[in-house]
Amino acid sequence: MNRRRCVNAAITVVCALTVLASPALTLQASAAPSTPTAPLAPLAPSAPQAPTAPATPLPPGPPAAPKKTLEEVRKEIDGLYRQAAAATDAYNLAEEQTKEQSAEIVRLAQMIVAGNEKIDALKARAGAAARAQYRNGGLPDGAQFVLTDDPQLFLDNAGRFKEGQKATRDLLAEMTRTQAQLTVYAKDAGTNWTKLEANRVKQAAAKKDINDKIAAAKKLESTLAAEELERLRRLEEQDQYRLQTAWVNTGVLKGLNTTATPQGKRAVEFATAQIGKPYIWGAEGPDSYDCSGLTQRAWGVAGRNIPRTSQEQWRLLPKVDIKDMRPGDLIVYYKDASHIGMYVGNGAIVHAPRPGRDVTLAGAGSMEILGVVRPE
């Protein structure tokens, strides 16, 4: 009995599956039960699909930039460091002017304080004279003597009265002059403050420019492998050697004075003693230097104060012809006077080259020479 029930259930399931699998019955079953079954409408033929347009080819991208040669990289790095050197000169000049203006503002402030103290003292004297007149009925002591009935007393004190009048006029004139000076001091202080702020802005802009140029140069250097960096250094040395050889072959060293003055000798001794210390832009020693910081410090030790920047050293120091050059003189490089070194004799200079380098000896003709100046 149970077996018959199982067979019947199986047949029922198979029949149900067969009915559900029929397409016509499946469509009819989807209609609402209350709706009479309608004949199936023939299916509309499907619209032909438009052929797919072929994909538009993308325009070719820009051709890859050709790889730079190591010599091109060297020139680009050298250019960035030279731009950083020019910005360093601008920074140093702004810093020097900032120091001068700060000192001038302090000096003017001290003069304003002294002027105010002087005004206070003059006012005290004027107040004492006014109180004395009040006690005498509004007349100064000298006038009391002038108005006496005694002729002798009048003659004796007429001169004193005149002196009193002069003293009063002098007091008022001194107060007027002091007040005018205070006005000038205050105006000068305001002008110097404006210049001070402008130079601080210049300093900040130059500092950013320096850091940007050095960062760009270092980024370029970082793309090179160790062997490429070594080749880069050799290329740099070869270029310097080529320039130095061409310079010496002109005969420029023939007949040059090889003897330094006592001051020049002290300057050379100090500068060469700094060999091996790092270049740091804006540095004036004692542990690091930039190019003009080294020359300024060396000549300062020798007893001669010179301007801070290479451009100012070129502009303000006496110029000499190369054929008259002697140890201790300063050689200025490039058209913008952005680099400077000290001539030490035998065709060599001592200088602080650039960031990443140390104070060193180099050929005096290994860079583009602008001219020579003599601090003495």
Q: How confident is the model at residue 39 (pLDDT cuts 50, 70, 90)?
A: very low
Q: How confident is the model at residue 173 (pLDDT cuts 50, 70, 90)?
A: confident
Q: Which pLDDT value is given to residue 43?
A: 36
Q: Which pLDDT value is given to residue 11?
A: 35
Q: How confident is the model at residue 207 (pLDDT cuts 50, 70, 90)?
A: very high
**How do residues 127-172 score in pLDDT, each as one tens digit?**
776 666 566 555 555 555 555 566 655 555 555 555 566 667 777 7
Q: Which pLDDT value is given to residue 123?
A: 78
Q: Which pLDDT value is given to residue 33?
A: 38
Where, residue-wise, is CATH 1.10.287 in the chain?
82-222
pLDDT score of 297 more than 80? yes
CATH number of 254-373: 3.90.1720.10
42: CB partners within 8 A, 6+ apart: none
373: helix, strand or coil:
strand
Q: How confident is the model at residue 9 (pLDDT cuts 50, 70, 90)?
A: very low
Strand order in the sheet with 360-363: 319-320, 369-373, 330-333, 339-345, 348-351, 360-363
**How do residues 80-123 score in pLDDT, each as one tens digit?**
999 999 999 999 999 988 888 889 889 888 888 888 888 888 77
| H or E segment and range at residue 363 | strand 360-363
Select the more confidently predicted residue: 12 or 89: 89
Q: Which of 40-49, 220-229, 280-289, 356-365 has the lowest mean pLDDT?
A: 40-49
Q: How confident is the model at residue 279 (pLDDT cuts 50, 70, 90)?
A: very high
Where, residue-wise, is CATH 3.90.1720.10 in the chain?
254-373
Summarize the confidence of residues 15-28 as an average pLDDT. 34
250: CB partners within 8 A, 6+ apart: none
Q: Which of 133-147, 180-194, 227-241 has the lowest mean pLDDT?
A: 133-147
| H or E segment and range at residue 344 | strand 339-345
What HEC string does 309-326 produce?
CHHHHHHHCCEECHHHCC
CA distance 204 to 88: 11
66 upstream amide cis, omega within 30 of 0: no
Name the pTM for this structure. 0.67
Mean pLDDT, all residues of the chain: 80
Summarize the confidence of residues 268-285 as an average pLDDT. 97
Class of the CATH-defined domain 82-222: mainly alpha
pLDDT score of 376 more than 60? yes
Summarize the confidence of residues 9-23 as an average pLDDT. 36
Contact between 344 and 257 (Cβ < 8 Å): no
Neighbours of 324 (CB within 10 A): 12
pLDDT score of 230 more than 80? yes
Residue percentage of the chain with pLDDT more than 90: 48
Select the more confidently predicted residue: 17 or 185: 185
